[in-house]
Amino acid sequence: MSGNAAENDGRNPPAGGRIPRHLAIILDGNGRWARRRGLPRLMGHRAGLRKLEEMVHLVKREGIRYFSVYAFSTENWNRPKMEVEGLMSLFRYYIRRKVEAIRAEGARIRFCGRKDKLPPDLLEQMRWAEERTKDETILDFILCINYGGRAEIMDAVNTLIQERREGPVTEEDLRRHFYLPDVPDPDLIVRTSGELRLSNFWLWESAYSEFYFTDIHWPDFDEAALKAALADYAGRERRYGGLKP
Ligand code: IPE
Ligand code: IPE
Ligand code: MG
């Protein structure tokens, strides 16, 4: 399907009227982008990671405060070893090369996900990138690597058990133990490349998120595609179970 973009026929208010505080994107379609061009899948991942620097700039310009991207799921370990190792190398390369440019945008880099299984030198680089950008306040750029919504919930539950907390556990108790408890729930979740599913992204946090799907493969996602998603969001009515305002 051509996504909600098709429904955005210009009647919706332009983006900027109501901008999401937290925009989340499921970066999908790197493999299909590469296949179309007769390239190996890893070239698609490389193109996808390159795209992020431009997006950080555009997202910041839109006035968005939190920008999270789903780059590697807890299920992506099931891919062939060569692809997984290639992705880890690309993450290493990308972090090393792009931290200063992202910092120059006023963006704080944060990683979200399980720390197990990731190569120790990558983990070290992730810590360095977080430390290097920790004072930036214009945008939180959140890279979800080895992230799974179910893993996040289970990790929080197990921390509560270890704390031997008595009595009924509240939503706030659970949330306090999520990976980034200070980050507000995503207002808008975009998924590229035509798949209509969450694939274990922001499972708890997406309870009242708005969704936007587009057929565009992630490496082809551009300013016009971002603006179309934001314009669509600006026309949504969020009710949170209440009545029409
Ligand atoms: C998204 O692109 C990136 C990751 C999941 C790491 P894919 O690799 O899933 O691309 P497709 O879905 O095969 O086209
Ligand atoms: C979701 O994409 C995960 C990321 C984009 C990191 P997948 O390509 O892994 O999802 P499925 O397998 O199509 O659901
Ligand atoms: Mg995919």
Q: What is the pLDDT of residue 17?
A: 54
Probe target for ligand 1 pocket from 25, 26, 32, 88, with the most ligand atoms within 8 Å of CB: 32
27 lines ligand 2 (CB under 6 A): yes
Residues identified as active-site: 28, 76
DSSP 99-126: HHHHHHTTEEEEEES--SSS-HHHHHHH
pLDDT given at position 188: 98
Q: CA 126 → CA 6, 98, 110, 117, 143, distances in Å? A: 38, 12, 8, 14, 10
Would you tell me how many other CB atoms lie within 10 Å of the CB of residue 61? Answer: 12
* 131 pocket-lining for ligand 2 (C-beta < 6 Å): no
Atom index in ligand 1 nearest the CA of residue 217 equals: 14
Ligand nearest to the CA of 35: 1
Task: For the chain of 245 residues, list the mean pLDDT of each consecutive stretch of 10.
Answer: 38 58 98 98 98 97 98 98 98 97 98 97 98 98 98 97 88 96 98 98 98 98 98 95 83
**What size, in residues, is the chain?**
245
Closest atom of ligand 1 to 28 CA is 1
Task: State if residue 219 touches ligand 1 by the CB under 6 angstroms criterion.
Answer: no
Nearest CA to ligand 2 atom 1: 199
Q: Is the CB of 26 under 6 A from ligand 2?
A: yes
> What's the CATH class of domain 22-234?
alpha beta
Question: From ligand 2's centre to the CA of 35, what distance in Å?
Answer: 16
- Indicate the helix (H) or strand (E) that contains 47: helix 41-61
Q: Is 179's C-beta closer than 6 angstroms to any atom of ligand 2? A: no
